[in-house]
Structures are given as structure tokens and as C-alpha cells.
Amino acid sequence: MKRILYSQKIAPFIFVLPFVLTLAVFWISPLIKSGIMSTQNILPGVTESVGLKNFQRLFGDRLFYVALGNSIKYMLWTLLLLIPGPLILAVLINSKIGSDKFKAVFKSVLFIPALSSVVVAGVVFRLIFSESSTSLMNQIVAIFGVDPVKWLKNSGTGFFALLTLACWRWTGVNILYFLAGLQAIPQDYYEAADLDGASKWQQFWHVTVPSIKPTIVFVLTISVYGGLAMFLESFMLWGGNNSPQNIGLTIVGYLYRQGIERNNLGYASAVGIILLILVMAINIPQLIATGTFKKEER
């Protein structure tokens, strides 16, 4: 027995066994269950199959569209803010300008917000964006002669607070991802470009960006995921799942409301399935188009 388990043929399967087990028990089985639950009406003690009724109801549910719209808007904005900015900062850190010590401090300081829990971050930003005239944001706008704003009560300003929180927490993390990619680019690429008389800007577009494409794809993938699955930031910023006129309601927030707060497990599962389809519909074509699947097969 021991001889078989220790053979070179069986060993790889033993190595990946913990993964296969976790995968089966904690991912695949809940996933299947989620699919089944989405076609059921689940009440304590009674579970009845209702076919696609949950989905039908979902497509006529105004609040679901509000949640969907908010999540998509949030995702698009975070892509717009959290990819180009951190990329440029990472390029600056990686350049020859400035002292390395200073840049190391910068890197570390920017990473610190990511260490804070969403509970703490949410409370801090809720109080910074408080509607009182003495709150930090209202004092800042007062400098420009603007009257105190009820930040978290209006859709636009509430969204601004949410995005500020997102940028604060994740800029440093994305910088690190990009930096890791940048440092893997061979220096001779730039020397060759220099010899050809390429400007810094041309070098950025024609050498840097193509070379770190895999990193950009990776950051894009986790950002799409993170954007569409966002819930806790909103939950903490508004101190619960109920924001005024649902301006902070997201897909997962709606899933939480239906599943946990209202105990509509079947309906909530249908919301979850739509979220899954949405994430996959964006990520799979993107991963195929950028050749990520093929590359990993090596």
C-alpha cells in the first residue's frame, strides 16, 4: 500500500487531493445546491419546486434592477479609477527617478489601508462624510463656499463616498500587483527602444503595456469580480443594508436582504445565479481572448 501511495504516478494525485476535496465539498456542492434552490420555494419544513418562477419574478422586480444597475456602475467606475491610476504610479515607482528609500516608504504607506477591516473603514468614511457641517468633507467643500452636503443621502454624492472608500483601500494593492509585473520586464527592451529613438511615452505604450498584459488581465479579472460582488463597503458605509432610496443597494446586498433578512432562500438563490452568470459572462470571454487558459496549460 505504502509503495503505491509513494510512487511517482500516484504522488501528484495525493498532492492535489486536498484541493479536490475542498472543491467538491465547499464549492461544487453549494454551487449545485444553489442552482436547485433557485427553482424552489423554500419555507421552514416545506420545499416546493416552482420551476423558473423565481427568475420570472426577478425579471419583473424593480428593486433587482436598481441593485444590478448600482453594481455595474460601481464595477465600471472602479475599473476606470483603479487600473490606470495605480499603473501610472507603479511605473513612476519603477522608474529611475527619485530615491529608492522614499519610494519604498510610499509603497508601504499606500498599502496600509488595505489592512484595515471593512468595518473600520466603513465607520471612518461614514463619519468623514457625515452630514454635519463640522465633518471633514463638509469643511473641505466649505473652503470653496459650498453649503454642507448630505453626502450619504443623495445618489451621486453617496456614490462618490463609496468610490473614495474603494480607491483608498485598493490603490496600494493594485500598485503592488503592477509593480510585480513591471519588475519582470527585461531591461534590454527599454535599451533597444531607446536606441530606436522611442520617447518615454512611446516606450510606455509599446513596451511596458504589452509586457505586463498578463498582470493587467489579472487585475481586471479580480476587479470585475470585486466590483460586481461588492456589498460590505455599502453595508458599512450606510450602517446596514438599507440606504436612502436604495442608492447603495447592490446585487449581493439584495441577495442578503432576500435570503437572510426576509428568509426567501429560493428567490435569493436566483439572484445569486444571475450574479454568477454575469461574472462568468464577462470573465470567461476575457480570459479566453487574452489566452490565459491556454497559457496555464503548459
Residues 109-148 that bind other proteins (CB under 8 A): 109-121, 123-125, 127-132, 134-136, 138-139
Q: Does 166 bind other proteins (CB under 8 A)?
A: no
Site for other proteins in 55-84 (CB under 8 A): none
**How near is the Cβ of 87 to other proteins at its closest, in Å?**
14
Q: Does 103 bind other proteins (CB under 8 A)?
A: yes
Q: Which stretch binds other proteins (CB under 8 A): 11-19, 46-54, 155-163, 188-196?
A: 11-19
Q: Which stretch binds other proteins (CB under 8 A): 25-33, 46-54, 155-163, 186-194?
A: 25-33
Site for other proteins in 176-195 (CB under 8 A): 176-177, 179-181, 183-184
Alpha helices in the chain, H assignment, sequence order: 2-5, 11-22, 29-37, 53-59, 62-82, 84-94, 100-115, 118-128, 136-143, 155-182, 187-195, 200-203, 209-211, 213-228, 232-237, 251-256, 265-289, 292-296
Q: Does 16 bind other proteins (CB under 8 A)?
A: yes
Q: Does 199 bind other proteins (CB under 8 A)?
A: no
Question: CA-to-CA distance for 155 and 8, rounded, in angstroms?
Answer: 60
Q: Identify the DSSP state of 264.
A: -
User: Taking the CB of residue 184, how many other CB atoms lie within 10 A of it?
Assistant: 11
Site for other proteins in 254-273 (CB under 8 A): 255-256, 259-260, 265, 268-269, 272-273
Q: Does 108 bind other proteins (CB under 8 A)?
A: yes
**How near is the Cβ of 155 to other proteins at its closest, in Å?**
20
Three-state secondary structure call for residue 298: coil
**How near is the Cβ of 102 to other proteins at its closest, in Å?**
7
Three-class DSSP labels, 12-77:
HHHHHHHHHHHHHHHHHHHHHHHHHHCCEEEECCEEEECCCHHHHHHHCCHHHHHHHHHHHHHHHH
Please work out the total of residues on this chain that contact other proteins, with binding judged by CB under 8 A.
Answer: 108
**How near is the Cβ of 92 to other proteins at its closest, in Å?**
6
Q: Does 245 bind other proteins (CB under 8 A)?
A: no
**How near is the Cβ of 67 to other proteins at its closest, in Å?**
12
Q: Which stretch binds other proteins (CB under 8 A): 48-56, 61-69, 103-111, 153-161?
A: 103-111
For residue 191, which amino acid is it?
A: E
CB burial class (10 A; 0-12, 13-18, 19+) of residue 93? buried
Q: Does 155 bind other proteins (CB under 8 A)?
A: no
Contacts of 18 (CB under 8 A, 6+ apart): none
**How near is the Cβ of 34 to other proteins at its closest, in Å?**
5
Q: Does 293 bind other proteins (CB under 8 A)?
A: yes
Site for other proteins in 206-225 (CB under 8 A): 211, 213-215, 218, 221-222, 224-225
Say if residues 290 and 217 touch (Cβ distance below 8 Å).
Answer: yes
How, if at all, do strands 46-49 and 40-43 pair?
A: antiparallel
How far from chain centre, in Å, is Cα 89?
20
